[in-house]
Structure 1
């Protein structure tokens, strides 16, 4: 274990165990052949309640804290560009993130058995805001080794006593790691946004295709209904014609029957008349 690992472990310990844990880790460093690290560790101060909760936030919800620090970068860029409109847009996000982190911090502290008083809550919020405003304060908060809450007062960052903050400066390597972490998160966020926009475009295109297919299917349905109605009308017309033809056929058959009967009667009458004519001729010839 080196000094950095020991310091991380120390500030991750419950506040009530800080002194005992510090002594234990200092002895371990010394036993491991690092007396300078042991001395440096013994000099680390016990965190106040607000500082301890800020360290807890750094360990438990690092992604949300990175969002806050990334927003601070945006604020500084907008300020450097004198972009008032962008600053106005960023301000509501600042308050929303601070509210969210403060609420999560209270919940995390409660899970650790630490109540969050109004005064501590205010100091925690000021610390988070200082992290957003000041890059050095942001790095210190993200590192999770605060011994005192921070507050930005316009000319710099001070601790809970109003004294200039004496947060331990980060090494270049650890500072770069923190910045790389934020950049990676921003790249991931940008990639997620691009994927979301791409998915939205694909969804819109799919909806357009489905709408076109529905319109085509509806037109085909309407055409089929129209064709069916035309066919039904034609069937009704042919049924009517068939009924009329059947009626005409029936009348014609009746007429044929009647005419046939009359023809048979006329033929009988003609035969009778011919027979009578022959008999009359015979009678005449006998005279």
Structure 2
């Protein structure tokens, strides 16, 4: 594998210089499912050779995606606009739910099914292009993953990032993976969190502009009421943002602690393997010495018997 790994649309790679963990992880999840393990090992070696031992250890800990997760990642890379439409629809659903707007929810529901159907159909074509068969089970798990992305903002960001290792499913109280275990779908980097906030602010600005255009004239009382509501909304968003930031900081701290544990266990495993090799060599050496000792003992016994016979003949 070349030093690398920036894949173009055809799946080929081009050689560049040093890579960091984020670049390596992006390259890894853009590789074919069949090449995932080999690509991960080569990129981990490259990071280690570049002096990034922690990045190498983190990369080696990344799991191979299931077929459904691989397909969701492919959708994120190949159909970003369609995926954005899905996530924007999710924002509309949450707003309508918060407003208790039943009419709006009934209007959005057919759109939800339509866009899910379109993405599922497009995903099947992408998989066929990549030579990957999609079973009914995989198709269902992909649809559940996309629906979880629509329902849950964190799941949406995780799907958009294109680095899932398991399909997702929203079960009413949260998002779970294919095993039914709670799934950690928190965005992993400050940069991705910033981009997500910018997208949400842009959509919010568009909505506010549209509402302003619809109501060019506004009484002083209505304006005061609206501004008060906006301030309260901003305060709620600020509080939610602070809470989300704290959760992110806690998640990052936990991840760093886990990475340290992985690195320590990796070192222990290496030492244990070295000790095992040394022990096996010692066993082999002692076995050879034992064979030689047995041969010497048999020769001595034979010589003793011969000497006894000679003595008896005297």
- Across the aligned residues of Structure 1 and Structure 2, the Cα RMSD in angstroms comes to 2.1
- 2:120 paired with 1:86: no
TM-score (norm 2): 0.58
CA distance in structure 1 between the aligned counterparts of 2:186 and 2:44, rounded to whole angstroms: 18
Q: Report the equivalent of 2:188.
A: 170
TM-score (norm 1): 0.63
**In the TM superposition, what is the alpha-carbon distance from 1:46 to its structure 2 partner?**
0.2
- 2:59 paired with 1:41: yes
Return the index of the structure with the highest Cα Rg: 1
Query: What whole-Å deviation, never above 9, does each CA across 1:177-202 have from its counterpart, x for those lacking one?
Result: 134346658989999xxxxxxxxxxx
CA distance in structure 1 between the aligned counterparts of 2:120 and 2:133, rounded to whole angstroms: 13
Which of 71, 76, 79 aligns to 1:58? It is 76
- Residues 20 and 168 (structure 1), Cα distance of their counterparts in 2 relative to 1, 3 Å cut: farther
**Higher relative contact order by CA 8 Å / sep ≥ 6: 1 or 2?**
1
SS at structure 2 position matched to 1:89: helix
> Which structure: greater helix fraction?
1
- Residues 149 and 173 (structure 1), Cα distance of their counterparts in 2 relative to 1, 3 Å cut: same
Query: What whole-Å deviation, never above 9, does each CA across 1:129-159 have from its counterpart, x for those lacking one?
Result: 0000001100100000000000000000000
Q: Report the equivalent of 2:20.
A: 2
Which of 30, 34, 40 aligns to 1:22? It is 40
- Residues 116 and 187 (structure 1), Cα distance of their counterparts in 2 relative to 1, 3 Å cut: farther
Q: Report the equivalent of 2:140.
A: 122
**In the TM superposition, what is the alpha-carbon distance from 1:37 to its structure 2 partner?**
0.6
SS at structure 2 position matched to 1:53: helix
- Residues 6 and 112 (structure 1), Cα distance of their counterparts in 2 relative to 1, 3 Å cut: same
CA distance in structure 1 between the aligned counterparts of 2:208 and 2:30, rounded to whole angstroms: 32
Which of 151, 167, 170 aligns to 2:169? It is 151
- Residues 188 and 84 (structure 1), Cα distance of their counterparts in 2 relative to 1, 3 Å cut: closer
CA contact (8 A) 1:158 1:164 kept: yes
Q: Report the equivalent of 1:250.
A: none
Q: Any stretches of 5+ residues in structure 2 without a counterpart?
A: 1-18, 210-314
SS at structure 2 position matched to 1:149: coil
Q: Report the equivalent of 1:111.
A: 129
Structure 2 counterparts to residues 1-287 of structure 1, below 5 A = 1-167=19-185, 169-181=187-199
**In the TM superposition, what is the alpha-carbon distance from 1:49 to its structure 2 partner?**
0.1
CA contact (8 A) 1:70 1:182 kept: no
Q: Report the equivalent of 2:213.
A: none
CA contact (8 A) 2:154 2:186 kept: no
SS at structure 2 position matched to 1:155: coil
